[in-house]
Chain A
Amino acid sequence: MSAIKQKLLIAACLASVLCAAGALTVSLTSGNTGSATRLAFVRSNVLIYEYQGMKDAHARLETLSNEWLGEIKQKEENLKGQQELIHKAADEGEVPQVLQRDAAAAYHEIEALKSEIAGEFQEKEQKLTQGALNQINDFVQEYGRREGYDLVLGTSNSGNVLYGVDAIDITDEVLKELNRVYTGNN
């Protein structure tokens, strides 16, 4: 390789390194101050679904859901037993009124419980999920301030950020720090 080619190659390498570094600080010139504005973006979905606080919330909801479904199942099993007794009594002749009354009451109780549980679960899900989102939002604000960013954008399915170079994608570092703080690994 000639000396000129070697120099060109080195220059090209230097230029690419400088471009990458330059991309970290996007130079949008502010009208008043003329200072460079630091921009970055995070991939919101990654941040949300890989955040340990959100994973814990989902795990907790799953546990609750299993507990509650187990409770309903137990009551349904009991009802099934009552219904079998009714069928047996019907086969033998007359069904005692008390059996019918108890089975009807059990059925209504199960239906009421299902409705109550569905409402409670929805409320719990909304609050725990919202809580995890609040934690993320707070953390990103604090992180942005601490790291000197002027603006941190979030990609979302509605397409508010359609493209960004990897150099200003801070998702991984934010996620790492977010999970570190959450799990107390100081």
Chain B
Amino acid sequence: MPMPTGFIPGLTRLLPLVGICILLISCGREKMDHAELMRALEDPTRGLVRERSVGDLVLRCKYIPPELSAWREMRGREFNIAEYHRRVAEHARLQTFALQIAPREDKGAAVSMRGVQGYEEFAQRTAELNFGMEDRLRLVSETCDMHPVLASLNNSYELNRARTVMMVFAPREGMEELPQRGTVEVVFEDDLFATGIHRFVFDAETLVNAPQLAIGSSQK
């Protein structure tokens, strides 16, 4: 069926504009090399990290952009750009955060040993940090309240006193995407170190527009 002739010229004129808009949106995110990106993620003025201090502990919740997650997964392997983009696309559907629990001053016992008396308690603490964090973490927004699909403790090989838990939130069945507007709260219910409940509040749009990894310099 032929298209109405009056419509096509108007649409044709608009197409370049639409193309430019799409290009601008996709390129809108700042590109950074790995070191710059790591600094940006730690910069509180960018709104990608939130921090709370209670007692002698500091809790820091940091957003991890999809490109960084993909890059980390591929670290140590032969870099393949197509594979990288496939992984980035996968991670773009998720939201990943890192929760670091660190002593306020870098001295004394490691976080995993705080308040622990004896091997049994240490084993319990280790088990809870490794396998019990999903229940203690939530992503809350106007449209969702969910636990992470994955919450894993980074292995620090006891080399430092802080511990970091990576958490990944995925859209539930029936949900097209995770919140893109309004606020996103990562809630940590801490009954391990008795620092209470923490709400790390992020602006969803800030997360969507977080800087991305300039892969050209980082895959080497």
**Which residues of A does B touch, CB under 8 Å?**
53, 56-57, 60, 123-124, 127-128, 130-135, 138, 182-185
Contact = CB atoms under 8 A, between A and B. Distances in A.
Contacts of A185: 201
Contacts of B199: 56, 182-184
Residue from B191, B196, B199 whose CB has the most chain A CB atoms within 10 Å: B196
A53 to B, nearest CB: 5
A57 B55 CA distance: 18
A56 B200 CA distance: 14
Given A135-B54, A138-B55, A128 B191 contact: yes
Nearest to B185: A184
Nearest to A142: B53
B196 A57 contact: yes
B192 to A, nearest CB: 8
Residue from A53, A138, A184 whose CB has the most chain B CB atoms within 10 Å: A184
Closest 5 CB pairs of A and B: A184-B201, A131-B196, A127-B191, A132-B196, A135-B196
Contact of B53 (A60, A130, A138): A138
A69 B85 CA distance: 48
B195 A134 contact: yes
B190 interface: yes
Given A60-B189, A128-B189, A184-B50, A134 B201 contact: no
A53 B196 contact: yes
Nearest to A135: B196
Chain B interface residue number, banded: 10 to 19
B197 interface: yes
B194 interface: yes
A138 B54 contact: yes
Given A127-B191, A127-B192, A184-B50, 8 more contacts: A124-B191, A127-B194, A131-B193, A131-B196, A134-B196, A135-B196, A182-B199, A184-B183
Contacts of B200: 184
Given A138-B53, A138-B55, A184-B185, A132 B197 contact: yes
Nearest to B189: A60
Given A60-B189, A128-B191, A134 B197 contact: no
A53 B197 contact: yes
A152 to B, nearest CB: 18
A130 B194 contact: yes
Contacts of A131: 54, 190-191, 193-197
Contacts of A134: 54-55, 194-196
B116 to A, nearest CB: 14
Contact of A57 (B54, B183, B185, B197): B197
A71 B10 CA distance: 64
A138 B54 CA distance: 6
22 contacts: A57-B196, A127-B191, A127-B192, A127-B194, A130-B194, A130-B196, A131-B190, A131-B191, A131-B195, A131-B196, A132-B197, A134-B55, A134-B194, A134-B195, A134-B196, A135-B54, A135-B196, A138-B55, A182-B199, A184-B185, A184-B199, A184-B200
Nearest to A123: B191
Interface in B153-204: 183, 185, 189-197, 199-201
Interface string B30-51: 0000000000000000000010
A132 B193 CA distance: 12
A131 B136 CA distance: 14
Given A60-B189, A184-B185, A128 B53 contact: no
A133 B193 CA distance: 13
B207 to A, nearest CB: 14
A184 B184 CA distance: 11
A57 B199 CA distance: 12
B194 A60 contact: no
